[in-house]
Amino acid sequence: MRNEFDFAPLYRSSVGFDRVFNLLNNPQRLQAIDTWPPYDIVKSGEEDYRIQMAVAGFAESDLEITQERNVLIVKGQKNENKEGEYLHRGIAGRSFERRFELADHVRVENASLTNGLLTVDLKRAISEAMKPRKIAIGNSTSGQSPLQIEGDKQVA
């Protein structure tokens, strides 16, 4: 059973949140969740985040990280090694693709692979133009005096 929320009342008092409402209504979000490879998302500072993925057995050349608009895509495809016959295969080497939805103004700072742990550092960077600013109310810059309504003129 699928529950859908009606966001119509929120449209009356918000501007520019269409993307957020579409994400919440996206049917692909509700599909079965793949748990491999395991990962952590850590908030390491006020504007800093880190994604850590356990990718044991993958080399840097087997991994690909791309950012397309507000989606971070991490892909892994291991080249098959035909050295011998496996009697037991406990280290997963299957291909994967994991997607992370990123908020506006979040960008990838760095990525590293150490001891089978892929670390992707993210930073939310809001430009000066997007930060709050005070808007002055007052005189126009055209230099014209404001229009005034004249009272009744008496003719002599």
The string of pLDDT tens digits covering residues 108-143 is 999 999 998 999 999 988 777 666 777 788 766 555
Q: How far apart are CA 69 and CA 100, in angstroms?
A: 11
How many secondary structure helices (H) and strands (E) does the chain include?
Answer: 2, 7
For residue 78, what pLDDT is reported? 83
For residue 113, what pLDDT is reported? 92
**pTM surpassing 0.75?**
no
H helix runs in the chain, sequence order: 8-11, 18-25
For residue 1, what pLDDT is reported? 46
What is residue 37's three-state secondary structure? coil
pLDDT digits (tens), the chain, 156 positions: 455 666 666 665 656 666 666 666 665 554 556 678 889 999 988 889 999 999 988 889 999 999 988 889 999 998 776 777 878 877 777 889 998 888 888 889 999 999 989 999 999 887 776 667 777 887 665 555 555 566 566 665
Q: How far apart are CA 71 and CA 23, in angstroms?
A: 12
For residue 36, what pLDDT is reported? 80
